[in-house]
A and B are shown apart, each in its own frame.
Chain A
Amino acid sequence: MPTDIPGAREGGARSGQAAARPTLLEIRHLRVEYHTIRGRMVALPDLSLSLAEGESFGLVGESGCGKSTLAMAIMRHLGPSGIIAGGEILFAGQDIARASEAALERIRGRRISIVYQEPASALNPAMTIGRQLIEVPMLHQGMQRKKAWRRAAEVLAEVHIPDPEAFLECYPHQLSGGQKQRVVIAMALLADPALLLLDEPTTGLDVTVEAAVLDLIDEIRHRRGTALLYISHNLGVIARVADRVGVMYAGELVEDAPVTSLFAEPRHPYTRGLMQAIPRLGSNKHDSALVSIPGSVPAAGAAPRGCVFAPRCPLVLPGRCDTEPIPPVDAGPMHRVKCLRWQESAHPAPPRQSRPAVLAADGEIAIEAGKLSRFYHLRSGVVRANDGLDLVARRGEVLAVVGESGSGKSTFARILAGLEPASEGTLLYAGTDIASKPVHRRSARQVAEIQMVFQNPEGTLNPSFSAGWPIARALKKLGRGSSREIDSRIRSLLGLVRLPESVRHSLPRQLSGGQKQRVAIARAFAGRPEILIADEPTSALDVSVQAAVVNLLLEIQAERGTTMVFISHDLGLVRYIADHVVVMYLGRVMEVGPTAALYAPPFHPYTEALLSAVPSPDPTAASRRIRLEGELPSRIHPPKGCRFATRCPRKLGAMCETEPPPVRDAGGGHLIFCHIPLPGLSAAEPVRSGVPRARPTPAGAGQS
């Protein structure tokens, strides 16, 4: 494969400008070890990278690859057991690895600041925001109290907090997650640092909030010229924020390149694996498969000899890849990769596949919800978690329910599964109303036929019992198969989810997250369900594992003709997996329709905003920027008319706030609940204009 690909050259030019700037941070052969009672673990064996002033470097990789350790090493905050065992961390010419405590004090919080993933734990719950913010300038710059207070208000205004003066008097618990993260970013900016370390700052935030925080980070960077080291597991986020990207695996930087050339021409098999594991724009389950990476990330200190990725690599050369460390080679301008076979690995062809075509819109109805509602009576009022849901799922299809936190999608899942009763409305399954029938009032058959896979792999299996136990119990209690058959049924169920039979006797803590989810899937299929509810089954998993679980679910679902209700907040995944999509907001349905129709105009304004907020794993794709103002309204006093009225960018007027929106039928089962008439909704442009990848684009197009 020749290397002079336009995309790569263009990317080189882009970072060529960056290279002209003086180097701010240079890490040379950094080695970090953890010395614990169990022995010595090498977290980062030998890592080198450099960052120019004002440059944004994205660090991507799955959990446990040493990304956070690197950030902590730069801050010299490795804790009592973490030791920098070799190498240099040169920051503006000074070696942080060897600096004295006094010298570190002058760097930390002044020249380098850090923003962590969990904003809630970065703020002291017993102090007002103001008192926490003024500490920084008072301590580091010896600023007077009054002046520091003014400065704090200025910085809050800079991170777009409305009415900063009043905000300073608030306590952290009064703020939303997005506001907290803004405060933490403001705190990091107070000292005007030259380098900002961001460790998964938007993980755990809703997608619309994430988009706004990413906008803010972009804006700060361009206004202040701050260099960024941005850590994330999300390729989409990295594509949006970074100039240059480093891919980390098992403590090593396996590939680093300018963002455009990395995404256009990934060279390392691991990078390619990460990209193939997430659904590509516009692809769906009917035309392509997701590719997972077999195996799992080695534990810290247990990295194999030679290439760290060799045990999971499809291109591994036994005898060559697993003997000596692989030196980095230049695969293009500024593009380094640690792989012997990088030339063979260009242009990953997405594996084609064909699954049964989309189901007809008039297929047999499996479940039908009518005005389904669930109210929680709290002391402070009534929360309408589900408020008059109307929806249908047809036999054998995948119906995705999408929404941000607080939308009521999980409540719907729990009502359907029978874990909670509905307060009002109907839920028809096979001719009977099961809305207000929790499991103990359902027939054995109904319970067996509606099963669920849960979100959190950590809580899904009882830690006291081996993995085979819940499957055996399910077979026994759901009465599918005689007790003599149970043994062979367990084996076939484990085979169905592609787990070795020995897993039966393993305790949950011996299994990885993906393995636990597969046991949970086996358990759910023990009763031969007609309906499978999957409540964010992959949101806690790494992308390569997510791909395997999604493939598995789809395969079993298609093979058995199961109807799957897939609850998710991941719009990219939903587009890939679903036949029909329901978009929910504050307990109500905003839009329903066939997947292809939903992802194209006409849009509900909320769907439009959601789609625009999703960061695309393609730095060259331009997308329209629609951002939601304000915060999610109180769930106890939601807007009277359209639930979305308070944040809608296309609000028509008072009518939206007072009157419930009418249904706009866009045809083919595509319904939009909005006051804007259909022609108005149809006039919207597609959210993304997918620019073909290899075509050169103006420099920086992906960033603007």
Chain B
Amino acid sequence: MRPTPLRAPSDLAAGATIGVEEIATARPSLLKRLPSSGVAMTGLGIILFWAILALIAPLLPLPSPTAQDYLAIAHPGPGLHHLLGVDPLGRDTLSRLVWGARVVLVVAPLSVLVAYIVGATMGLLAGFYPGFVDAVISRTSDVILAFPVVVLYVVLIAAVGASALNIVVAVVLASAPAVSRIVRGLAMQLVRQDFVAAAHLRRETALFIMAIEILPNCRGPLITDFCLRLGYTVITIGTLGFLGLGIPPPSPDWGGMVQEATPMLTVFPEMALFPVIALVSLVLGFNLLADGLNELSRAD
């Protein structure tokens, strides 16, 4: 309660009436509210678990992921020497999982990030320049999106050869059009807003309007999509590895590990089980984080 001094109504002439309204306090940013969402925190926990393991991999008392223990091949199941057992070539499963996390947690974010840079640029241009530019970008995206993703990957990697870089290229090619579509839709709405007209009225350049006025306002939907897309990309990398198109051996790769274990599936199912659990948990982590972020951004 603020006591207001007594004033006669006639004092309330033009200028004096524009009273100072209180300014609402700022709502904490999405990041600061993250702890309030159990779902998001669970997802973040799983992701951090793998990220920390990957980070400290060289410090862990584990055998090299490529070192073969010929003695263990006879009894590949979990044991004292190899906590999660060994693969058909006698390599330590736990070590390969931890080092495999390094690969996946570098390649997946990198490819999604590049896909976002390319896709956001395409989407901004398409949303800002309706007509010819939009038509070219949108139709090109449609053509790429019309391909079944797996076929696209297989054809591409088979053509240029399997390597970490080519995986990044493949993911960018497949994901950028989808990102472009989201950004285009948001940009088309934002372009019509008065703050964009106001920017024109102070002679801002097109680049400035796209990058500074429009792009930051797309971040809400994009953050959620980024997390989801990370999850998809982890699946993609796993699929490619399983098809033998992933990171070339002998580098540890979760998809590849599943594939190498398949001939032994009936005898030693745990060989395939552990990398599958790793893959599923990481994807789940990204999806839960995306769900939580989505929920938080809708709670306004």
Contacts and interface: CB of A to CB of B under 8 A. Distances in A.
B167 to A, nearest CB: 34
Q: Which 7 pairs from chain A and chain B are nearest by CB?
A: A294-B19, A318-B3, A454-B194, A464-B216, A289-B14, A477-B202, A459-B193
Interface in B208-224: 213, 216-217, 219
A451 B31 CA distance: 38
Contacts of A304: 1
A37 B299 CA distance: 10
B203 A460 contact: no
A456 B194 CA distance: 8
Which residue, B7, B25, B299, has most C-beta atoms of chain A within 10 A?
A: B7
A348 B9 contact: yes
Contacts of A296: 21
B142 interface: no
Interface residues of B, number: 41
A662 interface: no
Interface in A6-39: 37
Nearest to A450: B201
Contact of A351 (B13, B27, B195): B13
B26 A507 contact: yes
B14 A439 contact: no
Interface stretch (A86-94, A219-227, A397-405, A495-503): A495-503
Interface string A296-308: 1000000011100
Which residue, B3, B12, B22, B299, has most C-beta atoms of chain A within 10 A?
A: B12
Nearest to A285: B14
Contacts of A463: 217
A478 B198 CA distance: 12
B194 A523 contact: no
Nearest to B197: A419
Given A289-B14, A294-B17, A523-B198, A317 B6 contact: yes
A291 B8 CA distance: 12
A272 B203 contact: no
Given A473-B204, A548-B17, A316 B6 contact: yes
B9 A419 contact: no
Interface in A497-519: 498-500, 502-503, 506-507, 509-512, 514-515
B23 interface: yes
Given A289-B13, A456-B194, A514-B21, 11 more contacts: A272-B9, A276-B9, A289-B14, A291-B9, A295-B22, A312-B4, A345-B9, A418-B201, A459-B195, A477-B202, A515-B21
Nearest to B16: A294
Contacts of B203: 439-440, 444, 447, 477-478
B2 interface: yes
Interface residues of A, number: 78
A498 B199 CA distance: 23
Given A349-B9, A455-B194, A459-B193, A510 B24 contact: yes
- Main secondary structure on A side of the interface with B: loop
Contact of A316 (B4, B200, B204, B217): B4
Which residue, B18, B193, B216, has most C-beta atoms of chain A within 10 A?
A: B18
B216 A447 contact: no
A465 B204 CA distance: 16
Contact of A349 (B10, B24, B200): B10
Nearest to B195: A462
Contact of B201 (A269, A294, A447): A447
Given A349-B9, A473-B204, A506-B26, A512 B17 contact: no
A516 B25 CA distance: 15
10 contacts: A291-B13, A294-B17, A312-B4, A319-B3, A322-B3, A460-B195, A462-B217, A464-B217, A500-B20, A510-B25
A451 B201 contact: yes
B250 interface: no
A503 B24 CA distance: 10
A319 B197 CA distance: 49
Contacts of B148: none
Contact of B26 (A310, A473, A510, A520): A510
A353 B13 CA distance: 8
A461 interface: yes
B208 to A, nearest CB: 9
B198 A547 contact: no
Contacts of B22: 295
Interface string A608-628: 000000000000000000000
Contacts of A316: 3-4, 6
A509 B23 CA distance: 10
A164 interface: no
B15 interface: yes
B137 to A, nearest CB: 22
B16 to A, nearest CB: 9
Interface in A609-652: none
A417 interface: yes
A506 B1 CA distance: 23
Contact of A294 (B18, B194, B202): B18
Contact of B8 (A314, A444, A509, A552): A314
Given A452-B201, A460-B194, A498 B18 contact: yes
A439 B200 CA distance: 7
A440 B201 CA distance: 9
Contacts of A696: none
Contacts of B17: 291-294, 547-548, 551
A306 B2 CA distance: 12
A295 B12 CA distance: 13
Contacts of A499: 20
Contacts of A452: 197-198, 201
Contact of A474 (B193, B202, B217): B202
Contacts of B15: 498, 551, 555
A262 B252 CA distance: 83
Contacts of B8: 314
Contacts of B1: 304-306, 310-311, 322
Contacts of A511: 23-24
B14 A311 contact: no
A477 B26 CA distance: 28
A314 B4 CA distance: 8
